[in-house]
Chain A
């Protein structure tokens, strides 16, 4: 009996020929990361343990991205703690404002996380790197501290659910719509403790940016990891960036899946997930008129260059509706520069959108676009829980950059075809 891509990566990192779902294994970790919210606790645990050295300084990244540029004195203090730790241990991968990016956009871009890796991050959206064909999952700060010391961690091997996406994508339907639709079908715990393996002719045609978007939201279905088998698209993306060697794994034809789910994407419209759950996804055309106050285009889910190009395509020669604030947040410095060089900033500025330096900022209600009571936002982010972007009585609607841009122009939740 064969293995899935997830099982193969885990087996290889556990030094085993074969692993099965449910098995408890200890694996070596290729790369680990933490941010300005989770690293302070990990550093405290590291010090508490009495450890003096990290297992490998080149295999950890500390990325202050959530509350940066420092939003208040407390946040500045947290970033200071990371900075001092990075200096003390001579970490080569500490990213300061001006050189940073949102961690899950930055690390693939820098070639630090690669196909076939086991990546563990103190951030739940670490699962993003599954888009590259890596096993990547989020952990808490204490688990991360143990990884920082030993370079190893334990896992229960997850059973896999195979998703097959067939058919032809309709206009304006993106990876974001596919993942919102999927979570809507299976629920926020539909893949709890499971590996979500995205396959099919539609996935094979998706760009790397869109693959990363899909894997990013696996956690929103409760999954341990999301994964897409690497192919030529992956090779093209990683070969010019990789800072280490990497390996492509593929699921065997006779691999065992707990479930196989097939979707015909020809039936899928652009989606919107209504608050307060990412599983409340609906076709945008089915929604009544819902006026909005803010649009956020960015985040680890949809702040990459292709997302900005898509938004620009719709905002070109148009204007953000009066009384709507449209915030555009390129996810990394490189994306920021590229968007500028391509002239996207001119389009955004002429549309009267605001462009921000990279930050997670409003996605988690940190800063740079907080909502007041009763306010409503369309965001290309990943969570629409109660109070996620500000006041507990504000609302977040999740959508693709295309739906977000169209909504910004029309001042209500709208599909691109309405423009």
Chain B
């Protein structure tokens, strides 16, 4: 699975309150959540982001709350992938369960700047920085997790597997 888009760079320890503030959690409607995506880290992010864009961040992305609204907001805002030096564990599970691909890459997290064009190959675990013709290594996404992403998350994936086995 290949993805491409423009990079939006964030710092380390981006918490789930920065990704989607709790004041908006009186709904789980993806469209409404998308309007406030990353609001407390960059108030204009939801307006600036284009479909396919990529969030690139430092260590421990998604720390804090277990709210699945965080990956929902990011995905509904049109972000195709999140790349970070590392992820908080609940966010990591939630992202794949939601069908939002995420990649760990210290190299990309350290080097990429906002506005650069990225091309990502999840299966190979490579991130190409088209703007500077550089390639960064990342942990490849294993086939079953690629299938999970392609199918739209854990529940559709489980349902599909139940269908095939019956």
- Which size bracket describes the interface of B in this complex? 35 or more
**Alpha-carbon distance between A222 and B90 when the two chains are bound, in angstroms:** 9
Residue of B nearest to A370 (CB): B23
Whether a CB of chain B sits under 8 angstroms from the CB of A277 is yes
Tally of A interface residues using CB under 8 Å: 47
Whether B66 contacts A38 by the Cβ 8 Å rule is: yes
A145 with B155: CB separation less than 8 A:
yes
From A286-294, A297-305, A386-394, the one touching the partner chain is A386-394
Whether A48 pairs with B155 at a CB distance below 8 angstroms is yes
Interface string of B11-36 (1 = CB under 8 A from A): 00101011001110111100000000
Least distance between B82 CB and chain A CB atoms (Å)? 15
In the complex, identify which listed stretch (B93-101, B111-119, B122-130, B132-140) lies at the interface while the others stay far away.
B93-101
Neighbour of A142 across the interface among B17, B25, B60, B98, CB < 8 A: B98
Q: Please, which residues of chain A bring their CB within 8 A of the CB of B28?
A: 40-41, 44
Chain A residues, Cβ within 8 Å of B69: 37, 41
B108 within 8 A of A: no
Q: Which residues of A contact B26 (CB under 8 A)?
A: 67, 71-72, 74-75, 78
Asked if B13 contacts A188 (CB within 8 A), the reply is: yes
Give every chain B residue within 8 A of A281 (Cβ-Cβ): none
With contact pairs A44-B28, A386-B40 given, residues A222 and B66 touching in the complex (Cβ less than 8 Å): no
B 70-90 binary contact with A (CB < 8 Å = 1; else 0) = 001000000000000010111
Q: Mark A231-243, 1 if CB is under 8 A from B, else 0.
A: 0000000000000
Are A383 and B158 interface neighbours, CB within 8 A?
no
For the complex, what is the distance from the CA of A34 to the CA of B23, rounded to whole Å? 18
- Interface 1/0s, chain A 131-175, versus B by CB < 8 A? 000000011111101100000000000000000000000000000
A369 CA to B90 CA, complexed, in Å: 28
Q: Is the beta-carbon distance between A140 and B68 smaller than 8 angstroms?
A: yes
- Using a CB–CB cutoff of 8 Å, the interface residues on chain B facing chain A are 13, 15, 17-18, 21-23, 25-28, 39-41, 43, 59-60, 63-69, 72, 86, 88-90, 93-94, 97-98, 153-155, 158-159
- Of A146, A366, A386, chain B has the most CB atoms within 10 Å of the CB of A386
**Interface CB pairs A-B, < 8 A, 24:** A37-B22, A41-B28, A66-B25, A71-B26, A75-B26, A78-B26, A123-B65, A124-B64, A140-B90, A140-B94, A142-B153, A142-B154, A143-B93, A145-B155, A146-B158, A189-B59, A189-B86, A192-B89, A383-B15, A383-B17, A385-B15, A385-B18, A386-B40, A392-B39
